[in-house]
Structure 1
Amino acid sequence: MSTADLPMANNHQDPLRVRLTRQVEGIAPWDDQESVHATAVVKWIASRAPLYRVRKPNVPDPHLVSYFVVLNKREELLLVAHRNAGLWLPSGGHVEPGEDPWETVARECQEELHIPATPHPLAGDRPFFITTARTRGEGSHVDVSLWYVLEAETVTTYDRQEFDGVRWVTLPQILDEPADVLDPHMHRFTRKLIAAFG
């Protein structure tokens, strides 16, 4: 579905939805699962369903999230030990009402890792990957996640209220990690990243 297929009211009255649709459609799917997720997300955006979380932990369900994966020049990526999820994840956060997902990345990168959000040349300030996934634990809900790629060489401090720790991991090491300690789509994201690097 293209933005031309959206109802006319959406095109004129909700530029945020139009822009978000274009961002999702700009992602080149890595596999059939990503293609299915992207198609479903475009339909969700066009449905005029609420997009942004307005009450913790799960209202509305689903809602929009921006992930950002920080890479260094050695092609290691940064994972955080997320207290609530009990998983090793990329950093990220909920998109606030009316906020562009890239603005979420810039805000959350400062809040969580205390560094500026520097876009990686791989995708710039556009999302590289898209997923939908049900969260774990109390208040379980579906996160619609846009994954961005950033670059940084060091992270010396981080939000210790949200994370138990951080670590740099090579891409092959990610694939060796048990899937149940990571975001459920982390292996797929890593394979897409490896393929993009050629």
Structure 2
Amino acid sequence: MQTATAVVADLVTALTPWDERERDHIAQTLAWLGSTDDIFRRIEPVTPSPHLVTYMVLVDPDERGIYLGMHRKAGLFLPMGGHVEPGEHPLAAAQREVREELGIEGSFDVVGERPLFLSVTAVPFPQPHVDISLWHVIRGNRSHAYSLDPGEFDGGRWWPLDAAALPESDPHLPRFVRKLDHTLRASVARR
């Protein structure tokens, strides 16, 4: 049976980096995974640092939009997401977070069940720490009204799949959107 770090290392190794920054983040993450088995946040808010996070980006591939929620603590429009629990597979964490934050069963059929993107982010609140984030894509529908967890979000809205049109958000979101847009366009071209 694989250790949790080996499972995550397999997911990270399978990623095709979008740019040099993601290539660097992948290398940093693999070095971190090779140096520790302490990858899950156990003590809120930040122990250990870094720790593993999963984002689930709700995407309407037909209408070319992404749904972001106004995160209460961060004060930014962010994808849904959260910390991977000790021993939890990142996909199981993504499925759990979709249920908790959106109240739906997520469909991971846009680009598959593996994460599309990885980022390493220095987070300043509530205390400085580092998040290693695996970005998953779930299918959404712009005509559906989604109810976000009011304990974490002050509502949400759709944004065009255009890195230039995004609100203030996670610093890596524009790069993720460019990679997602490229992936979706390549998928259409293969049909």
Normalising by structure 1, we get a TM-score of: 0.87
| Paired position in structure 2 for 1:119 | 108
| Paired position in structure 2 for 1:158 | 148
Q: Percent identity?
A: 37
User: Structure 1: which amino acid aligns with 2:90?
Assistant: P
Tell me if the contact between 2:108 and 2:137 (Cα under 8 Å) persists in the aligned partners.
Answer: yes
The structural deviation recorded for 1:75 is: 1.6
The structural deviation recorded for 1:49 is: 4.4
Matched, 1:24 2:21: no
User: Structure 2: which amino acid aligns with 1:38?
Assistant: I
Matches within 5 A, 1:23-42: 23-42=11-30
Matched, 1:169 2:159: yes
User: Structure 2: which amino acid aligns with 1:76?
Assistant: G
User: Structure 2: which amino acid aligns with 1:99?
Assistant: E
Equivalent position SS for 2:21: helix
The structural deviation recorded for 1:19 is: 1.5
Q: Deviation per CA, 1:16-36, whole angstroms, max 9, x where unpaired?
A: 222211100111000000000
The structural deviation recorded for 1:194 is: 1.4
Tell me if the contact between 1:85 and 1:135 (Cα under 8 Å) persists in the aligned partners.
Answer: no
Shift in CA distance, 155/108, structure 1 to aligned 2, threshold 3 Å: farther
Normalising by structure 2, we get a TM-score of: 0.90
Equivalent position SS for 2:18: coil
Aligned residue among 31, 52, 58 for 1:64: 52
| Paired position in structure 1 for 2:173 | 186
Tell me if the contact between 1:115 and 1:155 (Cα under 8 Å) persists in the aligned partners.
Answer: no
Aligned residue among 76, 82, 107 for 2:71: 82
Structure 1: state its 5+ residue gaps. 1-11
Root-mean-square deviation (Å): 1.4
The structural deviation recorded for 1:135 is: 1.4
| Paired position in structure 2 for 1:7 | none
